[in-house]
A and B are shown apart, each in its own frame.
Chain A
């Protein structure tokens, strides 16, 4: 169920079959997007646990709104629109709950360690860390450190290989805004990356 191999049904027809009562349609759709969407959400939210939560929220919304889906359109951009909205909501709620940013430096020195650095990591232990793990940690820090609106356009544009128009549709913002945001996001990522590495 993980891939489309052997199942030629399109996403759109699966959603229609789900509405018509086919029991396996929705789980198939879930399985099809499990890794891809979860990966996108993990990068967007910076946490696999948060991604689990938002993934469920997203498909709950897909189920609840399935009847309103325009069958002449593609399912994937619609799914990512819902996912991006749910991820933004999650961010907003999380920020409200947080009194201090985990990325804020401890003490007055802006170069000092952050609260995030002090948290237990779910990565490998230092004695088994390889260069790859260091690189992964660095990429995570730089990407997670980008503002939300920059991170989301990079993820959609670069990771999901969406066109400017598709990103604009997903985020419901003007095409020009998408362009300028992506330009800014790439510039910011490059700047932070060079600084960090």
Chain B
């Protein structure tokens, strides 16, 4: 079958189409074509441009999580399939011969060695994204709560509780992030939204200034995040050498941070790079008036924009 018969397209039109393909359908390319091709090229462009209005709904953010979850599921299925009995049937062993069995076993070990780290990292990614989704839900809950309460965020424990020892909860003092539980109790979000992946602790902002109590008027800044590792260490009686560490919720690879505009950002460092006066703002500690990061509760924060997230 020759081209003209199959395509039912005029050879000149076909040539015009070839030009357009080469020019990535740039309308300006028509002027660079030989004169006889131009009317054909214009007509093709006009007709194909209709395709641009094909209705497409952008996928939701959940598509990424769902894809990662599917990968983990498939990896599990494959590893189950790969597991085999230690005592294969005698007939199979005889059929394959010992050298072949050894070779297959060696290949399986190598394959497992490659698959396990990849699976682990996908699992980490899945955990990270599930946690981010939870924080997004928490953000919606906080926003709904603030809308019902004159823009004010749920109360916090205040600085006094920040470095109290681990028996504080037992003695009846409510830890800071536990104040978020009232969101779930009052139906602003589900019971898991106040934990990372439903189990691990979160940290919640302690206001350094009364403006930080109002979600509506707050500048874009962190409101909640994965658990504060500095605080956790201090409570265990260890003073960190530096505060540049990531939350233990995700094996210290980074932390999910919920901002006041409802966005959730994965930060591999606790430093906000857009801190006031060009200084970094570590979300785990206070920066005092001298610009020094400290865990000293008596320190006066350098300004009203300082961020402190406490467990």
- Chief secondary structure at chain B's binding surface: helix
Shortest Cβ distance from A99 into chain B, in angstroms?
27
B114 an interface residue at 8 Å Cβ cutoff? Answer: yes
Interface residues of B in 3-21 (CB under 8 A from A): 3, 6-9, 13-14, 17-18, 21
Interface residues of A in 48-98 (CB under 8 A from B): 48, 51-52, 55-56, 59-60, 63-64, 66-67
For A124, give the chain B residue with the smallest CB separation.
B55
Shortest Cβ distance from A190 into chain B, in angstroms?
5
- CB-CB under 8 A from B54, the residues of chain A are 43, 136, 139-140, 143
- CB-CB under 8 A from B161, the residues of chain A are none
Question: What total of chain A residues lie within 8 Å of the partner, measured CB to CB?
Answer: 53
- CB-CB under 8 A from A59, the residues of chain B are 67, 71
- Chief secondary structure at chain A's binding surface: helix
Please choose the segment from B118-126, B168-176, B275-283 that sits at the chain A interface, where 4 or more of its residues have CB less than 8 A away.
Answer: B118-126
Per-residue B-contact encoding for A21-34, CB less than 8 Å = 1, 0 else: 11110110011001
For B126, give the chain A residue with the smallest CB separation.
A27
Shortest Cβ distance from B272 into chain A, in angstroms?
15
Q: How far is the CA of A21 from the CA of B118 in the complex (A)?
A: 6
Q: Cβ of A48 and Cβ of B57 under 8 Å apart? A: yes
B165 an interface residue at 8 Å Cβ cutoff? Answer: no
- CB-CB under 8 A from B56, the residues of chain A are 38-39, 42-43, 48
The 8 Å CB contact of A63, one of B18, B118, B120, is: B118
Q: Cβ of B59 and Cβ of A48 under 8 Å apart? A: yes
Given A21-B118, A63-B118: A52 touches B66 (CB 8 Å cut-off): yes
Q: Cβ of B22 and Cβ of A163 under 8 Å apart? A: yes
The contact size tier of chain B is 35 or more
Q: How far is the CA of A1 from the CA of B68 in the complex (A)?
A: 15
Q: How far is the CA of A138 from the CA of B66 in the complex (A)?
A: 32
For A22, give the chain B residue with the smallest CB separation.
B121
Please choose the segment from B43-51, B81-89, B138-146 that sits at the chain A interface, where 4 or more of its residues have CB less than 8 A away.
Answer: B43-51
Q: Cβ of A183 and Cβ of B53 under 8 Å apart? A: no
Given A18-B121, A23-B121, A67-B114: A55 touches B14 (CB 8 Å cut-off): no
B148 an interface residue at 8 Å Cβ cutoff? Answer: no
- CB-CB under 8 A from A190, the residues of chain B are 43-44, 47
Q: Cβ of A158 and Cβ of B128 under 8 Å apart? A: no
Q: Cβ of B21 and Cβ of A182 under 8 Å apart? A: yes
Given contacts A18-B118, A154-B51, 15 further A-B contacts (CB under 8 A): A34-B59, A39-B56, A48-B56, A48-B57, A51-B59, A55-B63, A64-B74, A137-B55, A139-B50, A139-B54, A139-B55, A164-B18, A179-B3, A184-B9, A190-B47
Which 7 A-B pairs have CB atoms at the shortest separation, nearest pair first? A183-B7, A136-B55, A161-B24, A184-B7, A187-B9, A38-B59, A23-B124
20 A-B residue pairings within 8 Å (CB atoms):
A26-B122, A27-B64, A34-B63, A35-B58, A38-B59, A39-B58, A48-B56, A52-B63, A56-B63, A56-B66, A63-B118, A136-B53, A136-B54, A163-B21, A184-B6, A184-B8, A186-B44, A187-B7, A187-B13, A189-B47
